[in-house]
Amino acid sequence: MILITGGRGAVATRLLSLVTDAGLAVRVGSAEPAQLTLPEGIPAVRLDLTAPSTFASALAGVRSVFLYASASHLDTFLDEAGRAGVQHIVLLSSAAVLSPDAETSAMAKSHLDAERAVQASPITATILRPGSFAANATGWAWAIKTGKPVRLPYPGAYNDPIHERDIAEAAYTVLTQPRHHGGVYDLTGPETLTFAEQLDQLAKAVGQPITVEQVTPAEWKEAMAEHLPPNFADSILDYWKSTDGKPVPLTDVVQKLTGHPGRTFAEWAADHAAEFAS
């Protein structure tokens, strides 16, 4: 039995399709299982990674876990997983842990703590470290839909957008192929693009112009205050500043794990164009 946590997430949803297509036994965990829309016959279970009381029932009979980590109670989760007989955990981490300031970065430290916890556990752990999710672009959707400019402090900052389908396929591979168990895999998209270049590709996919307005880091942080704690906003700004005008390194790990090149941002934009259309 495979347990997929974070059942409403884009990666988890696509991973579930791959697992069910292969006929594997699977259970989906979510803090709000009633809100899940699952294929017929696939059980949902309440699993709130911030509520240890939900761990035991979710893990009963499980042998492999795809884990969106919440470091606050991860040691308790791992102890419960060991008692349940879990043999393998695939942790969805982040390439942020590779940053030189990972120990002090709010964005990276939670992932770093989660990695350390699963690696210290007697359960075999495989770690996936995707870079920038292409889906981060959905944060621009409201502005694009309403014809307003997308406000960015560093429109020339580069990243490595990766399609959620590629992350899901990589997760499926490492879940189901024992030769990958215990590995650490740094995942990127197939190209490094600036935010301005991504917005150009989105404009083509949506079929409407998109305007970019450059703002100061302080203005962006103030605009995001309702959505991001200040320390997380600072970590993001620091990263964008470090890649402003500087292409980021890429890996071919997606191709090695999935057997095909990673999907481009243009492909992601075409897949999600309806989410941005006015």
Q: Is residue 207 part of a domain?
A: no
CATH number, domain of 12, equals: 3.40.50.720
Q: Is residue 21 part of a domain?
A: yes
Q: Is residue 243 part of a domain?
A: no
Provide the domain count of the chain.
1
Look at residue 71 in the predicted model and tell me its pLDDT. 66
Q: Is residue 79 part of a domain?
A: yes
Domain range spanning residue 93? 2-133+163-188+249-262
Q: Rounded to an integer, what distance in angstroms lies between the CA atom of residue 228 and that of residue 265?
A: 25
Q: What is the mean pLDDT of the chain?
A: 94
Q: Is residue 148 part of a domain?
A: no
Look at residue 62 in the predicted model and tell me its pLDDT. 97
pLDDT digits (tens, 9 = 90+) for 149-199: 999 999 999 999 999 999 999 999 999 999 999 999 999 999 999 999 999
Structure confidence at residue 105 as a pLDDT band (50, 70, 90):
confident
Mean local confidence (pLDDT), 99-117: 87
Of all residues in the chain, what percent carry a pLDDT higher than 70? 100
Least confident of 43-52, 58-67, 195-204: 43-52
Whether residue 278 is predicted with pLDDT greater than 80 in this model: the reply is: no
Mean local confidence (pLDDT), 103-111: 84
Residue type, position 152, single letter: L
Give the CA distances from residue 275 to residues 53, 140, 171, 197, in Å, rounded to whole numbers and listed in that order.
Answer: 37, 10, 25, 19
Distant-in-sequence, close-in-space partners of 109: CB < 8 Å, separation ≥ 6? 102, 103
Backbone angles phi, psi at 187, to 5 degrees: -105, 135
Query: What is the chain's length?
Result: 278
Q: Is residue 20 part of a domain?
A: yes
pLDDT digits (tens, 9 = 90+) for 124-134: 999 999 999 99
Structure confidence at residue 227 as a pLDDT band (50, 70, 90):
confident
Closest listed residue to residue 174, CA positions, set 81, 254, 111: 254
Whether residue 69 is predicted with pLDDT greater than 80 in this model: the reply is: no
pLDDT digits (tens, 9 = 90+) for 212-225: 999 999 999 998 88
Q: Is residue 113 part of a domain?
A: yes
The number of beta carbons lying within 10 Å of the beta carbon of residue 276 is 22
Structure confidence at residue 89 as a pLDDT band (50, 70, 90):
very high
DSSP state of 193: E
Q: Is residue 13 part of a domain?
A: yes
Q: Rounded to an integer, what distance in angstroms lies between the CA atom of residue 245 and that of residue 154?
A: 9
The number of beta carbons lying within 10 Å of the beta carbon of residue 207 is 10
Closest listed residue to residue 224, CA positions, set 101, 131, 140, 157: 140
Closest listed residue to residue 65, CA positions, set 51, 50, 49, 53: 49
